[in-house]
């Protein structure tokens, strides 16, 4: 995968306080780049939803909200790292499988949810692509994310298996191709970071990439959120 370049410095981003959602090792790809202005971080952020400052909140009211002096995700925002791996249930609430990945189109919008049916944990299972518009994000009794789809287990079993080979031709990407990916920061002294999550609005449009940087062996590092559109292929 091509490296990405940040078009602005970390100045336009905000520090994040909580731990990130680490991506599997096999999802890590080639480095991306981040440019200068993203280093001057606005107010710090808190908990899982933390995002850029008040100025950015005004431009992304559907994604951000302010709490005290920190920017956090609004109730309608979606963290891709929380959706991947979430249980998938049918209309009757019965578990059908789990979310394996998300498909972004050329406009950075999620169009499909890739579901690994229950048999994947044994033998004979498969991956099925479900339209994002037909899926709803809810929470179970343990407050864990659950994705509800309009398909029954039988319909899922009879659906065509997902084929990712045409993705490159259409300019589409899998969320897993970003999660865990190395980011080359603006200057040499900044070193590198890693994308730990993608933040989407309620329509599935990618708004921010959450980047971890600094620290040693995962200790003492920082997290910041930058606008997704700032990641460009170098």
**pLDDT at 161 (0 to 100):** 93
User: Is the CB of residue 98 less than 8 Å from the CB of residue 108?
Assistant: no
* 215 dihedral zone (left: phi>0; alpha: psi -120 to 50; beta): left
C-alpha 23/C-alpha 15 separation (Å) is 20
**Are residue 198 and residue 140 in the same domain, yes or no?**
no
Last residue of a domain, one of 173, 197, 217: 173
**Helix-, strand-, coil-residue percentages of the chain, each rounded to 5:** 15, 40, 45
Residues 97 and 168 in one domain: yes
Q: Are 213 and 222 in contact (CB under 8 A)?
A: yes
Is there a single domain that holds both residue 95 and residue 75? no
Q: Are 168 and 97 in a shared domain?
A: yes
DSSP H or E stretch at residue 167:
helix 167-170
Please report the pLDDT score of residue 143 as a whole number: 82
**99 and 166, same domain (yes or no):** yes
DSSP codes joined into one string, 128-141: EEEEGGG-EEEE-T
Backbone angles phi, psi at 167, to 5 degrees: -60, -45
- Parallel, antiparallel or unpaired: strands 145-148 and 87-89: parallel
pLDDT at 204: 94
Out of 133, 152, 173, pick the residue that ends a domain: 173
Whole-model pTM: value is: 0.74
CATH of the domain at 120: 2.30.30.240
* pLDDT in single tens digits along all 234 residues of the chain: 555 555 555 544 555 434 333 333 333 344 554 444 443 333 333 333 343 444 444 445 567 565 665 557 777 789 999 999 999 999 999 999 999 999 999 999 999 999 998 765 555 578 999 999 999 988 888 888 899 999 999 999 899 999 999 998 899 999 999 998 888 776 666 678 889 999 999 999 999 888 888 776 566 677 777 888 877 654
Residues 200 and 138 in one domain: no
What is the widest separation between alpha-carbon atoms in the chain? 55
What's the token pair of residue 169?
């031709």
- Token pair of 223, please? 């997290």
Range of the domain at 49: 4-79+179-233
**Judgement on whether residues 25 and 67 belong to the same structural domain of the protein:** yes
Count of structural domains, the chain: 2
Res 24: pLDDT: 35
């Amino acid at each position: 995968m091509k490296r990405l370049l940040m078009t602005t410095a970390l100045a336009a981003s905000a520090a994040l306080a909580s731990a990130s959602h680490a991506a599997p090792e096999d999802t890590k790809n080639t480095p991306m780049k981040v440019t200068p202005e993203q280093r001057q971080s606005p107010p710090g952020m808190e908990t899982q939803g933390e995002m850029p400052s008040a100025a950015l909140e005004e431009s992304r009211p559907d994604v951000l909200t302010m709490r005290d002096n920190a920017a956090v995700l609004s109730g309608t925002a979606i963290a891709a790292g929380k959706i991947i791996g979430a249980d998938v249930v049918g209309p009757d609430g019965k578990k059908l499988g789990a979310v394996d990945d998300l498909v972004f189109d050329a406009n950075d919008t999620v169009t499909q949810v890739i579901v690994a049916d229950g048999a994947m944990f044994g033998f004979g299972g498969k991956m099925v692509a479900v339209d994002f518009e037909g899926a709803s994000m809810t929470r179970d009794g343990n407050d864990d994310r659950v994705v509800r789809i309009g398909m029954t287990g039988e319909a899922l079993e009879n659906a065509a298996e997902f084929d990712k080979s045409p993705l490159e031709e259409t300019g589409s990407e899998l969320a897993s191709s970003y999660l865990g990916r190395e980011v080359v920061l603006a200057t040499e002294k900044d070193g590198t970071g890693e994308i730990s999550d993608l933040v989407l609005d309620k329509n599935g449009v990618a708004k921010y990439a959450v980047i971890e940087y600094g620290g040693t062996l995962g200790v003492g590092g920082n997290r910041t959120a930058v606008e997704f559109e700032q990641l460009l292929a170098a």
